[in-house]
Amino acid sequence: MADVSVDVSGVMSPPENSPRTPFSSFLQVPTQIPDPKEWFSKQRQNVRPWLLFIQTSNFKTPPSVPRLSKRIMRNIEYFQSNYLFVFLGLVVYCLITSPLILFALAGTFYAGYKLNKRHQEKKIVLFKKELTLAQVYGVVALCSMPVYYMVGAHGAMFWVLGASFFLITLHASFYNIDAVIAQGEDGFPLLEQV
């Protein structure tokens, strides 16, 4: 019996006209870590007008359950940056109302800053092993966990996540995105060119 080998190497790419699912924009796996400043500025540019976001005349009950799920997905896609800023606003509110968490975060960042400066001057050795900067930050984070637990950061984190989920789902469920898209963002009906 002869040994037959077949070369199956090559580059595969998806077809040009592949159908997009509602989750396709959420399920894209990034190939590299984005720059936080660049990502944040991109999100700020994609924020829809806040008056449109809170316009009460666009709040309607969904006519059926299947249309409710489509409405939620379309709203999350359309107002994604606005929802991000709602989440960040709740985080800031939680930090302002919980000063112990704010002090714990400041202490962690200060320790990381000091260890970063020390690491640049002289390598940090732990148990006779030189640590990389990422490992130093990992040790700082690990040592900070009990402090965060004592100041109640876990409760605040779950409160922020729960409140964000509730508010975003409530807005996405009752905001009639179809009316906004039909009229255009400025509130005037879209004109078709002939």
What does the pLDDT look like over 36-45, one tens digit per residue? 788 778 888 8
What's 165's DSSP letter? H
Tell me the pLDDT tens digit for each residue of 107-164. 999 998 998 888 888 887 778 888 888 888 888 899 999 999 999 999 999 999 999 9
Q: Where is average pLDDT lowest: 17-21, 46-50, 173-177?
A: 17-21
Cα 87 to chain centroid distance, Å, stands at 9
pTM of the predicted model as reported, rounded to 2 decimal places: 0.66
CB atoms inside a 10 Å sphere around CB 192? 5
Q: Which residues pair with 129 in a beta bridge?
A: 126
| Phi-psi map region of 128: left, alpha, beta (phi>0 left; psi -120 to 50 alpha) | left
Distances (CA, A) of 145 to 37, 72, 110: 26, 35, 15
Q: Which residues pair with 126 in a beta bridge?
A: 129
Nearest to 51 by CA among 190, 189, 191, 180: 180
Kindly tell me if the per-residue pLDDT of 22 is higher than 70. no
The pair of three-digit structure tokens given for residue 73, joined into one six-digit string: 């997905």
Ranked by mean pLDDT, the top range of 21-35, 109-123, 143-157, 174-188 is 143-157
Query: Alpha-carbon distance 129 to 132, whole Å?
Result: 10
Mean pLDDT confidence for 171-186: 78
The pair of three-digit structure tokens given for residue 162, joined into one six-digit string: 């729960």
Residue 85 near residue 49, CB atoms below 8 Å: no
Q: How confident is the model at residue 26, as a pLDDT?
A: 53
